[in-house]
């Protein structure tokens, strides 16, 4: 799944949510204005329908969040994951992560990254990239990207997807049940 596909998928969910909200509003109005129905039945029907419409909106919102998280997980795995089953490599990667976590500033991270790349230590370089991403050290990411084509684009996409996951107010409004 690409970022453009994800944005399209989210747009589709939100379009469906708006249609559901409009359908709920129209249904409520129709029930309220039906002279053949008793007031008690109207209240019960509106309450029941409200639950059904709200459930549909919650489902759409959940599907959006799953799509965002899925793309984010893929990008994190591509950028920072280590896909080996060799026990010694796994231990080396964990050690590299521990070492990278202790880096306190961008200058130190650049130094460690340069040494890791010069010696071919991919696990340390990847761990330093993760630390840089978490800390917002853009110079480290750029230095890593010079030797790893496609990394910068993936980091930009990860930033965008992370921002999408955090825009709770807009999401709450898009999936609100005003029933």
What secondary structure, in 3-state letters, does the chain show?
Answer: CCHHHHHHHHHHHHHHHHHHHHHHHHHHHHHHCCCCCCHHHHHHHHHHHHHHHHHHHHHHHHHHHHHHHHHHHHHHHHHHCCCCCCHHHHHHHHHHHHHHHCCCCHHHHHHHHHHHHHHCCHHHHHHHHHHHHHHCCHHHHHHHHHHCCCHHHHHHHHHHHHHHHHCHHHHHHHCCCCC
Task: Report pLDDT for 179.
Answer: 66
Q: Say what the pTM is.
A: 0.79
Task: Report pLDDT for 90.
Answer: 83
Of 101, 102, 158, 112, which Cα lies nearest the Cα of 139? 112
Compute mean pLDDT per 10 residues along the chain, 179 residues long, and list them: 91 96 96 96 96 96 95 90 76 90 96 95 92 93 91 91 81 82
Task: Report pLDDT for 85.
Answer: 74
Encoded tokens for 19: 């249609």
Task: Report pLDDT for 127.
Answer: 93
Per the CB < 8 A criterion, the answer to whether 148 and 117 are in contact is no
Task: Report pLDDT for 18.
Answer: 96
Encoded tokens for 64: 């959006």
Per the CB < 8 A criterion, the answer to whether 161 and 72 are in contact is yes
Task: Report pLDDT for 83.
Answer: 63
């Amino acid at each position: 799944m690409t970022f453009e596909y994800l944005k399209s998928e989210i747009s589709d969910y939100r379009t469906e949510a708006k249609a559901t909200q409009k359908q709920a509003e129209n249904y409520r109005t129709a029930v309220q204005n039906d002279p053949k129905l008793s007031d008690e039945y109207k209240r019960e029907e509106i309450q029941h329908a409200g639950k059904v419409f709200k459930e549909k909106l919650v489902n759409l919102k959940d599907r959006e969040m799953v799509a965002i998280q899925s793309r984010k997980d893929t990008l994190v795995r591509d950028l920072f994951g280590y896909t080996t089953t060799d026990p010694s490599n796994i231990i080396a990667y964990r050690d590299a992560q521990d070492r990278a976590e202790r880096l306190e500033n961008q200058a130190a991270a650049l130094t460690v990254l340069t040494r890791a790349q010069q010696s071919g230590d991919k696990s340390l370089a990847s761990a330093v990239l993760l630390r840089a991403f978490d800390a917002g050290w853009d110079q480290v990411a750029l230095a890593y990207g010079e030797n790893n084509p496609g990394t910068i684009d993936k980091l930009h996409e990860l930033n965008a997807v992370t921002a999408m996951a955090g825009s709770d107010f807009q999401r709450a409004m898009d999936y609100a049940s005003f029933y």
